[in-house]
């Protein structure tokens, strides 16, 4: 159910803090991919799929666990206005979130559906899911989403109060629904990527220096669930996260001044 802005705004949430933080470097990411903005795994692929954000090619890249590019596929009917996150479904479809909006002047957003990453071709045609924001909502910058119960849940990236919207997983044009305004810690909580576990019971939200793990929620009242803040012993421009198992996740960061540009493994327990 959509929750009205003036009815529900979460300013502060109570967290269970865990003393974790070690990121294990799995691989150096290719030097040609300096601005990786998302990562995702698929049930029909042994590869780790990544994209780059605004100003880069409209390509998806399949990497092995050593960081080598195994597949480089041009999405030939797409434009990379600002690709920010990846998600997938149980059928092996990959979805690209083209909804980055740093200048906050976009009024139309796109999710590209890639149905066959197993193709032997180096080009592929995507289907499009377009959406606009609700009538009274100002333009937002979005960087994170996941697919749950056949809806995309999309998080804006803000310093303070952010919005969570949802869009149906259906080809065509839609008006997004507001789920809730929220604030994770009352200070800064920019969410750069998100994922949901295969069983739909655990959500992870990525920040440059921490991960939020959300469990025990009902329906899409995510922020009424149990929220654990998992701080890293590491601060970099982390832009991509996805589940590897129930307890482990992959994380990627952008290369900046000779630092970063890695694929990490993080244990949430």
Q: What is the pLDDT of residues 129-165, one digit of tens each?
A: 999 999 999 999 999 999 999 999 999 998 778 999 9
Q: What is the pLDDT of residues 34-77, one digit of tens each?
A: 899 999 999 878 999 999 999 899 999 999 999 999 999 999 99
Q: What is the pLDDT of residues 92-118, one digit of tens each?
A: 999 999 999 999 999 999 999 999 898
Reading the block at residue 66, the tokens are: 């050593």
Sorting pLDDT into bands at 50, 70 and 90, what band is 12? very low
- Rg (C-alpha) for the chain, rounded Å, is 17
Contacts (Cβ under 8 Å, ≥6 apart) of 141: 100, 101, 102, 104, 156, 157, 158
| DSSP secondary structure code for residue 9 in this structure | B
CB atoms within 10 A of CB 201: 13
CA 30, 33, 35, 36 torsion: positive or negative? Answer: negative
User: What's the whole-number mean pLDDT along residues 254-265?
Assistant: 89
Q: Is 212 helix (H, G, I), strand (E, B) or coil?
A: strand
Distance CA 52, CA 172 (A): 24
Smallest CA-to-CA distance from 93 within 169, 155, 4, 183 is with 169
CB atoms within 10 A of CB 215: 13
Distance CA 96, CA 111 (A): 5
- On average, the pLDDT of the chain sits at 90
Can you give the pLDDT at residue 4? 40
Tallying the residues shown for the chain, one arrives at 269
Can you give the pLDDT at residue 5? 37
Distance CA 18, CA 24 (A): 17
Sorting pLDDT into bands at 50, 70 and 90, what band is 186? low
User: What's the whole-number mean pLDDT along residues 184-189?
Assistant: 72
Can you give the pLDDT at residue 160? 78
- pTM, 2 dp: 0.91
Q: What is the pLDDT of residues 192-232, one digit of tens each?
A: 999 999 999 999 999 999 999 999 999 999 999 999 999 99
Residue position matching structure tokens 């994209």: 51
Reading the block at residue 9, the tokens are: 């705004």
| DSSP secondary structure code for residue 223 in this structure | G
């Amino acid at each position: 159910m959509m929750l009205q802005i003036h009815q529900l705004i979460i300013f502060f949430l109570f967290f269970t803090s865990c003393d974790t933080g070690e990121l294990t470097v799995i691989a150096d990411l290719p030097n040609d991919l300096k601005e990786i903005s998302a990562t995702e795994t698929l049930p029909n692929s042994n590869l780790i799929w990544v994209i780059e954000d605004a100003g880069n090619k409209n390509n998806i890249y399949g990497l092995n666990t050593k960081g080598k590019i195994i597949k480089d596929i041009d999405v030939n009917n797409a434009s990379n206005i600002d690709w920010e996150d990846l998600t997938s479904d149980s059928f092996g479809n990959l979805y690209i979130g083209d909804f980055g909006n740093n200048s906050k002047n976009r009024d139309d957003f796109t999710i590209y559906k890639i149905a066959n990453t197993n193709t032997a071709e180096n080009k592929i045609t995507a289907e499009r899911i377009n959406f606009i924001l609700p009538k009274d909502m100002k333009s937002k910058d979005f960087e994170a989403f996941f697919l749950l119960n056949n809806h995309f849940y999309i998080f804006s990236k803000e310093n303070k109060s952010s919005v969570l919207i949802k869009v149906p997983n259906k080809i065509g044009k839609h008006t997004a629904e507001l789920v809730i305004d929220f604030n994770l810690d009352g200070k800064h909580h920019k969410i750069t990527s998100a994922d949901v576990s295969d069983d739909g019971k655990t959500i992870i939200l990525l920040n440059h220096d921490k991960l939020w793990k959300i469990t025990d929620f009902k329906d899409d009242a995510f922020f009424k669930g149990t929220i654990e803040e998992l701080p890293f012993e590491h601060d970099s421009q982390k832009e991509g996260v996805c589940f590897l198992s129930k307890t482990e996740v992959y994380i990627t960061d952008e290369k900046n001044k000779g630092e970063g540009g890695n694929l990490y493994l993080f244990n949430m327990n």
